[in-house]
Amino acid sequence: MTLDIPAGFKFAGVHCGIKRKRRDLALMYSEYPCSAAGVFTTNVVKAAPVIYNMEVLRSGSPVRAIVVNSGVANACTGEQGLKDARRMAEKTADVLKIPLSSVLVSSTGVIGVPLPMDKVEHGIEMASSRLHHDPSEAAHAIMTTDTRPKVASRCFEHAGKMITVFGMAKGAGMIHPNMATMLAFLFTDARVTPRALSNILRRSADLTYNMISVDGDTSTNDMVLLLANGASETPGIDLYTPGFQELFNAVNDVNEKLAKMIVSDGEGATKVFEVRVEGAKTDSDARLIARSITSSNLVKTAIYGADANWGRILAAAGYSGAWFNPENASLEIGSNGEWVVLLDRGTPVEFDEASAKRLLSQNEIVISLKFLDGNGKARAWGCDLTERYVEINGRYRT
């Protein structure tokens, strides 16, 4: 995959000993001060890095670096966890010779285990001496049960010059609407005001990361951070000025690609399915319905078994909390441009079981649910639920 990397950003990923073998500490650095925005887990139990970053972003200070460790989540670690998160920032600021207020931190891994700070600090020292323009080592270093790194980029023209948006993410389990055990870090060389950046990220997260589900669990560490350093030397972008919509489109495209990669790498997953809802009363209702279907374990197991048990889909829509008229509901399943109609305006349709099973046996499947209640529409993404998921999570700490 050929990736475009925004100007002025450098990355490193090292193995510092938190994990037995794989890279486990990433450092991401901007040569210029950045506007920054973040969205975080809705879980009441928030990991120390989440609490620390929320305070940093509230201060409005320019950001220069993000340091991330994997293997230990630094969650449910009490006062010491907060001290360790701050110490990660202090060490990073010290080795890079930048203000403490310009460093954000992140952790992912096992909950309830203290960070091995001697290893973390050594890792930060190593990473600071290995910064370069290639983000691949950093993308590997943020992984836990992921089977592959997740990276994406998008470019667009603004005032005659190119602006680049690049992102990396991790996540394979404990993924559920309103974010879950996932981290995503996005970087752009656009010059953007903090309020415009925050608006873009918040709206995009609602359309992407908040519309995926792997297993119905929501975790303590999730965050998405977006940095903009202005290195493209293009005119500044504020709310609804020229370039604003184009930047939103680019950020949203990168986030959607990363969100789909997270679902496709779901723990034990063999298939990805997209739920398309049209004709709901409102967009909000459409999102509720789509998310309910992707989150249903009965739907996910039916997808795994290639069983066209469409009643499970309609039932999941029915308990979503959204109102719709079941008598006007139409349902189809499809893959690679081929479709099988299961329900037409509330009436079951006789369909060929073999054809339905063949479509549901594909790696990528679409479920289309249409109503006649309004103009609301939404998309959501999920994966099947397999025996392998139980195996992975039954021995996660061992």
**What is the separation of C-alpha 342 from the centre of its chain, rounded to a whole number of angstroms?**
32
Distance CA 242, CA 240 (A): 7
Amino acid symbol at 52: Y
CA end-to-end span of the chain, whole Å? 34
Distance CA 93, CA 26 (A): 14
Tell me the residue length of the chain.
398
Q: Please tell me what DSSP assigns to residue 129.
A: T
Distance CA 234, CA 157 (A): 9
The SS3 assignment for 224 reads strand
The SS3 assignment for 142 reads coil
Distance CA 368, CA 246 (A): 29
- 188 catalytic residue (yes or no): no
Closest CA to 69 of 141, 172, 11: 141
Contact 301, 384 (CB under 8 A): yes
Which pair of tokens denotes residue 4? Answer: 């475009």
Which pair of tokens denotes residue 152? Answer: 């994406």
Contact 13, 138 (CB under 8 A): yes
| Candidate list 41, 164, 181, 188, residue with the active-site label | 181
Strands in 122-191 per DSSP E = 150-158, 161-170, 183-188
Calculate Rg over the CA atoms of the chain.
22
Contact 169, 183 (CB under 8 A): yes
Strands in 19-149 per DSSP E = 25-40, 63-72, 103-110
Name the residues annotated as catalytic.
181
